[in-house]
Amino acid sequence: MGPSLNELLDNAHVVSLPLVTRFRALDVREAMIIRGPKGWTEFSPFDDYSDEESVAWLRAAIEFGWEELPPVVRSRIPVNATVPAVPAADVDAVLARFAGSRTAKVKVAGPGSTLADDVERVRAVRNALGAEGRIRVDANGAWNVDEAEHAIHALAQFDLEYVEQPCASIAELADLRARVSYMGIPVAADESVRRELDPLEVARVGAADILVIKVQPLGGLSRALDIVRQAGLPAVVSSALDTSVGVAMGAHLAGALPELEFDCGLGTAALLAADVTDSPLLPLDG
């Protein structure tokens, strides 16, 4: 049986944590940290999530703090660096916060950022990681299909691992995937999983090669595991710019997945200038 509203509120602490650098129009990350019988848990939907969407985030928080969790099958989780839409000159400083990471996710198509800016940012990441490093780019659905196709051609020179949520809708993703399939660059879906009423539709219609899975917006570990199982596609576990408590939720999911083909986006506590613990979950040797 889950907690009552009074139990949740009596054990809740709201925090506002500054970011090292601006990330997706955010300078601070707000979260509610709740102590449950199983330990600390987190409820931190973004402001643009409706009350109905935020229910899943609360469900995830209750599961992690009150319920038995699925067993894990691994003790080490490789994580990627996350590079916000910063000037190319700032890339090295960002990557320095992700000790030993061999993979970088680079934000592109940000507000006020041009494709030329994106190219130079990704170029700087490639120069820093070297030929063996892995680079994925994330547009957060900002491009239309034509813009995405053009951008992928411009960025392909950097040997992309995949492109994440290049377009907003599932229909656009399917169209784009068909257009660029000959290039051998996979398409990953994020918002088309976590913000759709049916998170399996993007896999069902063949609009993505990879799913980006985030515990909180999908309603918890058990539901996320079931979505991955039913989709039958490789999964990349990622945080939603969580505190270290939320990152622990994602780490448990990554530890519980039967297969983990890609480095996970669980190093994002490195983007916080402050955290809720004196021992934050930061990348260690990748």
Active site residues: 107, 214
Beta bridge mates, 137: 106, 163
Task: Tell me the C-alpha distance between 202 and 188, whole Å.
Answer: 10
**Structure-block tokens of residue 134:** 């892995």
**Structure-block tokens of residue 38:** 């199983």
Task: Tell me the C-alpha distance between 268 and 217, whole Å.
Answer: 16
HSE-up of residue 76 (Cα within 13 Å, Cβ side): 4
Q: What's the maximum distance between 2 C-alpha atoms anywhere in the chain?
A: 56
